[in-house]
């Protein structure tokens, strides 16, 4: 069995993390609107260039427009990012202990450097086989890995994600990949409808129960 699990909102409390992350900027006189403006101004530009959020560029933008001490802000954020295990959701470690480490993978969407820093800060990279950061559809990444490593056809491939867009799967991939839509109350997308999934769950404990009941392996 190969289990690919999303990071943000699936195992990491991204809403709380973002609140606390923005609060650091608040110490430098940057309010939430100013944070969002500087974040999305750069983010929109980066999307056109095929990139995503860049923390250093945001600081540079604020340093130029607001005259903040960018060096001190960077140091505060780097210190904050070193210890993020408190943002792991309560059932995560118990879930991971249910399966061999070799079968567990983090598959996260976003800007690689910032995402890796979050994942490393949460300590989750030490509990799984590998971490993949992508800007592509996650199903495409899984299918590519399936071809590369020639997973046995008898081996279950599971995708656990919170965002409905990730479950738009066509063709043979629909039969090959079993999907779990994880809709947590803490998640930012918990109220979005999701029809294109095999199972709808509220927590990781439910995933374990279904895997055992269906005897996936």
Question: What are the pLDDT digits (tens) for 90-132?
Answer: 999 999 999 999 999 999 988 888 999 999 999 999 999 999 9
pLDDT at 44: 60
Is there a single domain that holds both residue 100 and residue 206?
A: yes
Q: Do 54 and 22 belong to one domain?
A: yes
Task: Please tell me the distance from the alpha carbon of residue 141 to that of residue 108, in angstroms, as a whole number.
Answer: 11
Question: Which of 36, 65, 81 is where one domain is finished?
Answer: 81
Residue 193 has pLDDT above 90, yes or no: no
Which domain does 205 fall in, by range? 2-13+86-213
49 band by pLDDT with thresholds 50, 70 and 90: low
In which band, very low, low, confident or very high, does the pLDDT at 37 lie, cut at 50, 70 and 90? Answer: confident
Task: Give the separation between CA 82 and CA 119, rounded to whole angstroms.
Answer: 10
- What's the pLDDT tens digit per position in 20-34? 999 999 999 999 999
Structure tokens at 48: 């056109």
CATH of the domain at 204: 3.40.50.1000
Same-domain check for residues 74 and 93 = no
Considering 64, 81, 98, which residue would you say is the last residue of a domain?
81
**Tokens encoding 52:** 């995503």
Residues 9 and 48 in one domain: no
Average pLDDT over residues 47-55: 68
Same domain, 44 and 130: no
**Does 100 share its domain with 39?**
no
Q: Quote the radius of gyration of the chain (alpha carbons, Å).
A: 19
- The answer to whether residues 127 and 188 belong to one domain is yes
| Average pLDDT value over all residues in the chain | 91
What's the domain count of the chain? 2
Q: Do 164 and 93 fall within a single domain? A: yes
9 and 98 belong to one structural domain = yes
Q: Which residue's entry shows tokens 């780097």?
A: 78
């Amino acid at each position: 069995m190969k289990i690919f699990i999303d990071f943000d909102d699936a195992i990491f409390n991204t809403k709380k993390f973002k609140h606390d992350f923005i609060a650091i900027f608040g110490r430098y006189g940057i309010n939430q609107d100013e944070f969002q403006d500087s974040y999305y101004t750069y983010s929109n530009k980066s999307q056109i260039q095929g990139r995503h959020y860049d923390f250093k560029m945001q600081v540079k933008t604020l340093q130029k427009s607001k005259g903040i001490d960018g060096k001190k802000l960077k140091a505060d954020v780097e210190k904050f990012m070193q210890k993020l295990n408190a943002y792991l959701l309560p059932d995560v470690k118990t879930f991971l202990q249910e399966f061999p480490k070799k079968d567990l993978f983090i598959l996260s969407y976003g800007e690689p450097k910032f995402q890796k820093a979050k994942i490393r800060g949460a300590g989750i990279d030490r509990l799984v086989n590998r971490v993949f950061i992508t800007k592509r559809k996650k199903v495409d990444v899984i299918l590519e890995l399936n071809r590369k490593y020639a997973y046995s056809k008898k081996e279950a491939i599971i995708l656990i994600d919170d965002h409905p867009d990730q479950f738009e799967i066509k063709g043979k991939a629909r039969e090959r990949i079993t999907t779990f839509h994880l809709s947590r109350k803490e998640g930012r997308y918990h109220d979005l409808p999701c029809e294109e999934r095999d199972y709808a769950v509220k927590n990781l404990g439910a995933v374990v129960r279904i895997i055992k009941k269906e005897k996936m392996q």
